[in-house]
Amino acid sequence: MLIKNVIVLTMNSNKDIIENGVVVIDNDVIVDIGGNELLSKYPDHEIIDGEEGILVPGFVNAHTHCAMTAFRSLGDDVADRLKRYLFPLEKMLVDKELVSLGSKYGICEMALSGVTTFADMYYYEDEVAKSTKEVGLRGVLGETIVDFVAPDADKAYEGLDYCQWFIDKWKEDELIIPSVAPHAPYTNDTEHLQKALNLAESKDVPILMHIAEMTYESEKYMKEYNLTPVQYLDKIGVLNSRMVGAHLIYVNNEDLRILKEKEVGISHNIGANAKGAHGVAPAYKMYNMNLKLGLGTDGPMSGNTLDIFTQMGLVAKIHKLVNNDRTIFSADQIVEMATLGGARALNLDSKIGSIEIGKKADLVIVETKSINMQPIYDYYSVLVYSANASNVSTVIVNGKVIVKDKALLTQDYSILTNEFKNIKNRVMSAARSL
């Protein structure tokens, strides 16, 4: 496959831009990058005409719970939503059917918006893996571990056993990276956090967790240990380079030092955090400290959307506002976090995140013909401030075209939309009982 007539934003170490560029793919790997001279060098390759679109590495959603699409637009303005609303709803409603439907629909949304890799933690994560394969995305997927009876667990911490089975089932898959996912420090005791890390170490997989997201979480660890959540996790020995921490809002300078020293991946989820009024993580300081920082949407009940375009615009604007400085977080830095930064956070930057020879062919063409896309003076700025998910025209994952001319080739999501109607009354009935 050969992609021509595109502006290539490589996101390599020099952030090279190739206008009227050509990218050549063999199987699932990028094998050549250049200009029109490559057209004669590879005469037998199938040609995709990018029609002067912007070619970027596939976006990385570094933290979500995509099956929660089933609850989107429900309880958006409820206080203490997690404990008073979400956990009870999950206990009443979440089963294999809901997770399969919700995750498949959410993955379709991500595919159409140019997300090629995502990190997810939820229940019945095997259903999420099946949906990921069916749609054709790359997923870092972890079964949630909690200290209470969960939708797919009859006793506390049974998610650890599920994790072991799940990892063994998917470990060798080319698109699925199975993971261990303790929900948060406050929903796992010290012993089981350490067991979760030991399992991740023994299986050589990532570990995903919410960290320093809630005020009551920070209050708990300060009261019980005189430590922040990050310092507590460091003290019990569960922070290392395979950890991907979501949120990390309530962190101080010592926490940031620890996160850098331990090479912890970070998902900055500005949309969900702003909507939940949790606060603004010090992402600009994290970026300048060269922490492994990517962008995430959180679940579609928390942030409502699963596209990274929304997050890019919010990150740029909110951080300028809270820092009272319109010059910080340049557009190229935002795009970097959405691509290579997310790959770094997930320890996948040797494979994805930039357009370089030898890396996986996870690529997105953003068309430039729509009315919101012109004129273009700065390619990064138009992606961050002008573009939206509907401008994604082509998506390639692992060398396979899964979106062409803005149409998803691997799934008819209109069928899924109709299936949602079958569960809507059940969800509403449960919600009214709370």
pLDDT of residue 84: 76
2-57+363-397 — its CATH code? 2.30.40.10
Supply the DSSP string of 105-147, one letter for each residue: HHHHHHHHTTEEEEEEEESSHHHHHHHHHHHT-EEEEEEEE-S
Please tell me the distance from the alpha carbon of residue 212 to that of residue 103, in angstroms, as a whole number.
Answer: 26
pLDDT of residue 185: 97
Q: Which fold has domain 59-345?
A: TIM Barrel (3.20.20)
Supply the DSSP string of 262-313, one letter for each residue: TT-EEEE-HHHHHHTT-----HHHHHHTT-EEEE----TTTTS---HHHHHH
Please tell me the distance from the alpha carbon of residue 103 to that of residue 107, in angstroms, as a whole number.
Answer: 6
The pTM of the full predicted model, rounded to 2 decimals, is 0.96
pLDDT of residue 91: 86
Query: What's the pLDDT tens digit per position in 34-60?
Result: 999 999 999 999 999 999 999 999 999
Supply the DSSP string of 388-427, one letter for each residue: -GGGEEEEEETTEEEEETTEESS--HHHHHHHHHHHHHHH
Task: Please identify every stretch of the chain with a pLDDT value under 70, giving residue numbers as ranges.
Answer: none
The domain ranges of the chain are: 2-57+363-397, 59-345
pLDDT of residue 402: 98
pLDDT of residue 424: 83
